[in-house]
Each structure stands twice: as C-alpha cells, then as structure tokens.
Structure 1
Amino acid sequence: VAVAVEADGPERLARVRRAATALFDGADVDGPGIARPRFFGGLAFHEEATGRDPWADFPAARFVVPEAQVAFDGDDAWLTVTAVDAEADAETVDDRLDDLRETLESLDDAPLEGPPGVSDRHRTTSVEAWHESVDAAVSRIRAGDLRKVVLAQALEVELDRPAAAPDLLARLGGTYPDCHRFLVEPNGGASFLGATPERLVSLRGREVETGALAGTTGRGDTDDEDEWLANELLGSEKDNHEHELVAETIREQLAPLSADIRVGDRGIRKLATVQHLWTPIDATLERDEHVLSLVDALHPTPAVGGLPPEAALDVIRDTEPFDRGWYAAPVGWFDADGDGSFAVALRSAIVEETLATLFAGVGLVADSDPDAEWDEVQLKYRPILDELERDD
C-alpha cells in the first residue's frame, strides 16, 4: 500500500475525500486515464466501527492507493506504480515498474485450490429468535412506525483448512461472472470478499448509473420451472411493493442533484442460485459532483437498511445479535476526477484462517412471512457456501 486513509463518524466520507484531494493535487502522474492511480476501499454499514470480532481490523472507512495497480481496457492491460515521499523519485519508480512487469509476465496459470471443506456451522440466529424478530418488525410496520426494514443473519463456518481468499474470489467469478467481485484485507489478516449483484452507484463525468435490486426467488430445476418462478416474482404484490420502496427512494435521493433521471423497465436479474426484481436507474447531474457525495446520499438504500432510514437502523442495531461490519456497505474505487464505482457488499463473507462468517439479509414489509424470509436467507448464503463446501 502506498497511501492509506481511515476515518469514522458521520463525516467519514468527507474526511476521506479531503485527504484524497490533497494527495491527488500534489501528485505527478504519467499515463492515460485508465492507468492513473485510484483509491480503493469501502466503509462499515454503520458510521462507527465497533472493533468487535470478526471486524477488529476493519475501521469505519478505509481507502488505499495500492503500490501497484493493474487495470484492463479491452485487450490492453496497464500496470501503474505509485510511490510517495522519499521513494517517489523517477528512477526508483521506473525500476519498481520494471520489476513488477517482469514478475507479472512470469506468472503461471496455476490451477485454483479446491474448496477447503466445511467441518461445522454455527448460526447466530435460531429459527425461534428469527420468528420473534420478524414478527416484531412486521408489527411495527403494520403500526406505521416503519415502511420496511432489512434484517440479516450471520453463519459461522469452521473450515477443514485455511481458505485461499484469491482462489475463492476467482471461483466466484466463474459462477457469477456478471457480479461485482471484491476482496478487502486491511492488515493482511482477515479477508472480506464477495460477489455482489448490486451496484450502489457509478459516476463518469456527470452521468450516473444505479438501480433498484429487491425482491427475490430461487431458480428452477428446469427452464419451465425457472420461468414460472420469474413470472411469480414479477406478479408478487409483496415483492413489487418492497421493490418499489427501493426504486422510489433512490429517485428521491438523486432528485436534488440531478437535471434528469431515467427509470428503465422492471425486469428479472438471474443469478446462479436466485433471481431478483431489477430496475435500472440512470441520471445526469445538474453540476459536477464527487462519487463519494453520491455514496453518502444513497447509503444505506432501503434494499439493505429500510424506511424511514433512522428508525430502520435503530431496529437493525437492536435486533441483530452480531456486528454487520462492512457487510451490506459500499465498496469500490474513485479517482482524481471524482469518478468512480461502488457496489453494495452482499453475498459476502469475512474469512480468517479456518473460520468464515457469512452474511445474508432480507427485506421485511407488512405481509412478510418468517418462514419464507428464513428460506430466502439460506438461498443467499449459497454463493459463498458453495465455494467453501467440498463436493464429496
């Protein structure tokens, strides 16, 4: 890591932005836009980091400029080296660039390690406790205290051997090629990784891309069953209500910043184990903005928090018997122009040695059923769990 910036509290993203701007303003950058240094990182779901396991190494916000960065643009690949202060003379940087290029060119396509295997599991939430939590949340929604709240579960998994995080991420890429993959290792210990279908926001110039992803069902064993499930989801009053709350809120959050907002047709996003209701939303900003300002405006969306936001966050804090840490929070990158792209850290786990903690959540509305929501959580564990379990 060439540079690391950490912050906490309500102003954490503003503090990160100020530190990044100061660094970029003093940088001597050589290369096209695709190759220029970027900050990579993310933040915790809540404004303050608790320091509780397994998140002890993860602050409330952390972004880094890596010493070495590889970016792909079509058939081209760009290697960028960043050096700071005493190491920043041109000759040192050129030598380091040559060394890294030789290292990359000498890499073999080694076969990926197979799944480490699962020896034991421990649920942080029992079926009985889940029923109580869902019933309590639904009662508050029906009473008018809430419109929606997202409750999550955590699953602790003991592994037969330590998991190789890069290999796990690569295998996820094979199964979920259209998802946003991420891997964060703040101090070289615990690894937070996942393959999420949900983009929070992408900004290039004044053009914004985002969308509403909410409402879930499984995949069918046959094409006909799969199509039937998709049609049932498209026709579900409960799922469409949940979805519309998310889409409506994203539009409202973008409206003060936008000259134009375009909402696409609602459809189905199919993944290996689940399918979701999906509505693309694009916007053109009224003026120049930094992508971190959009992240701050949008997080947490009702797809991972709820409505009203503060009331939903209070329910989440009071109900969930574990620390969300960086689960369901923004992860991504930004550059010197303020452009960038962030995803929502879903279908994810934090892994250290032979312990993996998986996370999954569901959106609750007035007619949510505890058993159906429990089953949906189990479906959402499958992307990570499938890559940890051996086939034998």
Structure 2
Amino acid sequence: MEPPRGESSVRAGRTGDGEGGSGLVSRSVRVEAPPFRAVVAAADSPRVVWAAPGEATVVGGGAAATLTAAGADRFTAIRDAAADLFASGDVHAGTLAARPRLFGGFAYHDEHDGTAPWTGYPAAGFLLPRVQVTYTGTDPTTGDPDAGGEAWLTVTAAGPDAAPEAVEARLRDARTALESLSEPDPVAAPPGVADRRRTTDRDAWHDSVNAALTRIEAGDLRKVVLAQALEADLERPLDIPATLTRLAERYPDCYRFLLEPISPDGGDSTPDGDATVGGRPSFFGATPERLVDLTGRTVETGALAGTTGRGETPAEDEWLARELLHDGKNVHEHEIVADAIRDQLAPYAASVATGERGIRRLATVQHIETPITAELGADRHVLDLVEALHPTPAVGGLPPGRALRTIRDTEPFDRGWYAAPVGWFDAAGYGSFAVAIRSAVASPDGDRVSLFAGVGLVTDSDPDREWDEVQLKYRPILDELE
C-alpha cells in the first residue's frame, strides 16, 4: 500500500484487533448488494456508516485497528499513527472504493474530556473496520429494494500475525453471513418523544447573545457561533438503521453518518444482533456542510452560512431565497465564512477558485452556499487541511481564539463531536470530511437523544430571530424522532 505522505513526529494511541504489531492484511470480494438496514443491524460494534454525495456508501463493523489522540497535536498524532498502520500492507481490494479506510472524527475542542453524553468519544478517534460493506451502486439507504446495485465485502486484520489465509477464511465466513441476511421489515416509524429538556432557556439565551454582541460592537469579535442542546426522552428505543434510512429519504444530498465510540469505556464490542443502538452511544446525523475533500492535489470545500426556512409554495420558496440572498446580516455572515476559508487554504494552495454564490435547499431550511476549490502547491495529507480549516467561522467565529473562548465560557454543555470534523481517509492521505451539524448522540440504551444546533452572531443579530433559527435547525433530527 502507498503510505500517507508527511513526516511522523507524534504517536497516537493505537490498538489492533488482538494481533498487535503493524502488519495489515485486507481482502475484498464482489457480492450482491445486501439489505442496508440488515447489514447495519447485524454489524459488530463499534459500527460506522458513511453515505455522502458522489461517494460509495460504507457500513463498517468491528475494529481491525483503532487510533486515538488528545490535545492540540491530535491531528498530527492521528496522521502519524495512520502512517505507521499503513506502512506495511498486503491489500487486494478489487476496486478503489473497497480499499481499507479509517473512519472517525474529532471533538470540537482540543481539551475535550468525554463526559456524558460523549462517554467513549475521545478528542480524536478513528476505526479501521474489521468487516466493511461498500455499496458502489445507487445509494442503498433510500429504502428502494433495487437501490443497492453492486457491493463489495472487505475483511481486514492488523498485526504481525495477520496472515492472508486467516483473513481469506474470515472473508468466506463473512460472505456466508452476509448472504444469509433477510430483507428487513418496512422502515419503522419514529420512536416518539416523551419529554424534552433545554440546556438554555430563552432568558439565558438573550443574555448570552447580547453579551456576545457587546463584544462584537467593541471590536473584540467579528463573529461567534453559539449553540444550544436539547435532550429528548424517547417513547421507544431508537432504531438506528431506520433513522438513517429516513434521513436519507429526506436529505439525499447531505452527508449521513453513524459513529459509535471506539474507546473501551464506550461499550462492549460484541455483535449487536438488533436494530437499536446495542449498548453503545451512537453519534449520527445528516449534515449539509462539507469541510474538505482531497483527491490528488485537488481540494473541494465551500462556505455554507446564512439560513432561512422553506416556503409553503414554490413561489414563497423563491421569495424566501431571494430575501436571504439580499439580507444584510446573512450576507455579511456568509462573506466572513467564505473569506476565512480562502485565507485558511492559501498557505497550502497554488490557486484558489470561488464558484457562484447560490442557494442550497434542504427539506426544512435554505442556506447561502459558495463552492470553493483549490489546487495544492505540494502533496498534503487531508488531515493537514482538516486541521487548517477546523473550526470554520460557520461553526466557530473570528478571530478563532477569541471565538472559541467565548463559546467555552458561554455554552452550558460540552459540544463533544458536534460541529467537528467527521469522515474518512486512506493510505494515500486522501479523504472526505464533513462538519457534524444537524446531528445528535443517542444514549447506549437508545431511550434518550441529545440534539445540538447553533447560529452565527454578527453585527445586527437579533436574539429572538436567532432563537427561532436554532429551533429550525433542530428539525432535521427532531422530525425523525417525533
């Protein structure tokens, strides 16, 4: 395998699949696409799901290896530990999409401590799945029984004792198990919400927003994003595969993901055997915001900031979109984000190009969007760019340091992995990451879900209007619970 590029200076914590060492063996075989929800339900913990526009959908289960890191050097530490993991490999993937990849993410803050509801989620954590199903046909999460198309089954092991013969035997067993999966029942209805609790009441929100606006008016800040959390008690345990399917039907152009904790205190690692969360927390979502995609030296990213609702009719929808594109507060917020992303890319890029500003329409909201592409001046690892771009002003603020301190001092909850980078990267250092907004984390028994949503504050922000926007941004996840 081609190892990632870049120097190795800091080691992250790493565990294998019981075999130790640094060897990696991976085998893949083409299979008839199995039912998506059945695969997710049957997968061993920790489970990962990644479904993104223009990408193959991946379901992973079990850990061939895990990488964890903490502190300010966590991006470098993960990159360097991955270089060690991928340095020696015997890989027969069959197709590029089925290659071994590391899936995971980072906490929003460097000093993340992993307290509830984020138990088991480290400051940085990535999983190399032991068993991976890659759907290379039409998106299988839509619920269409013919949507799966072609798929690939990959089995991977890491360690000095990871012999090709053993991996090939596991691959045969995994294929037999996959072929025995039956079509699941129709997609379950949402579990229902029995009760909900806010971390921030309206009076406290007014105080926080007005304090932030005072700092903006004084010149200490140009922008800051403040978030809220909403805890919902469910009437029935959450069905994760069904929830992901419903999110796919409503948000097919978003990045849908499931990430279970890889830390030892995140739960057991036995097969789940049912469709609920199976004894581990589950971080999931459908985010419209791409952080960065890197293939070769080509970078794709974009600015997504400025929000309004959807109209009752096509004419009202168009009117709202036009109003958004000409609204002073929203346009100002968007320009701050776009300018900052270009500045963050500039040290790495030979050229940066900005596309035409437009409207991104989702099921419940509309955003102002500007695509941004760049050509790098030299080979870089995608994690170099993830570190450079996180947090974008769309989820943080400017200046970054002052905005982060304001967020820490103001928000009465831990953001955990909310609004942070989630995604994957491969042995070449290429990868795809999204910003984990429109997301939630479910408790281990699936009876409670914590939702998160935030808004950007700039000059002329109004506390009541921003409160309403937060409630609008809860809807993508809340609609799949109620």
Under TM normalisation by the shorter chain, which class is it? over 0.9
Aligned to 2:247: 172
CA deviations on 1:71-117 (whole Å, 9 max, x unpaired) are 23344322111012265212211111112222223323312222111
Aligned to 1:231: 322
Moved more, 303-312 or 179-188: 179-188
TM value normalised by structure 1: 0.97
Aligned to 1:357: 450
Is 2:209 the partner of 1:134? Answer: yes
Give the match's secondary structure for 1:37: coil
Aligned to 2:480: 387
Aligned to 2:53: none
User: Superposition pairs for residues 116-135 of structure 1, below 5 Å?
Assistant: 116-135=191-210
AA aligned opposite 1:234: L
How far, CA to CA, are the matches of 1:207 and 1:163 in structure 2? 39
User: Superposition pairs for residues 307-346 of structure 1, below 5 Å?
Assistant: 307-346=398-437
TM value normalised by structure 2: 0.79
2:175 to 91, 101, 105: 101
Give the match's secondary structure for 1:65: strand
How far, CA to CA, are the matches of 1:207 and 1:108 in structure 2? 41
AA aligned opposite 1:192: F
Pairs aligned (count): 389
Is 2:69 the partner of 1:13? Answer: no
AA aligned opposite 2:314: D
Higher share in helix:
1
How far, CA to CA, are the matches of 2:390 and 2:118 in structure 1? 20
CA contact (8 A) 1:146 1:311 kept: yes
2:154 to 62, 80, 88: 80
Is 2:131 the partner of 1:49? Answer: no
How far, CA to CA, are the matches of 2:72 and 2:331 in structure 1? 32
How far, CA to CA, are the matches of 1:12 and 1:97 in structure 2? 33
CA deviations on 1:235-283 (whole Å, 9 max, x unpaired) are 1111010000000000001111111111000000000000000000001
Moved more, 113-122 or 30-39: 30-39
Aligned to 2:98: 35
Q: CA RMSD in A?
A: 1.1
CA deviations on 1:200-235 (whole Å, 9 max, x unpaired) are 000000000000000000000111111110000011
CA contact (8 A) 1:87 1:93 kept: no
CA deviations on 1:40-63 (whole Å, 9 max, x unpaired) are 000100012223211121110000
How far, CA to CA, are the matches of 2:338 and 2:150 in structure 1? 36
Aligned to 1:145: 220
Give the match's secondary structure for 2:347: helix
User: Superposition pairs for residues 238-253 of structure 1, below 5 Å?
Assistant: 238-253=329-344
AA aligned opposite 1:66: P
User: Superposition pairs for residues 184-263 of structure 1, below 5 Å?
Assistant: 184-186=259-261, 187-188=266-267, 189-263=280-354
Give the match's secondary structure for 1:2: strand
How far, CA to CA, are the matches of 2:206 and 2:367 in structure 1? 24
Moved more, 156-165 or 288-297: 156-165
How far, CA to CA, are the matches of 2:96 and 2:223 in structure 1? 41
How far, CA to CA, are the matches of 1:354 and 1:241 in structure 2? 41
Aligned to 1:161: 236
Give unmatched runs, 5+ long, in structure 1: none
CA contact (8 A) 2:114 2:123 kept: no
Moved more, 350-359 or 105-114: 105-114
Moved more, 202-211 or 19-28: 19-28
Give the match's secondary structure for 2:109: coil
**Divergent runs of 4+, >4 A:** none
How far, CA to CA, are the matches of 1:34 and 1:356 in structure 2? 32
How far, CA to CA, are the matches of 2:155 and 2:369 in structure 1? 38
Identity value in percent: 64
User: Superposition pairs for residues 287-326 of structure 1, below 5 Å?
Assistant: 287-326=378-417
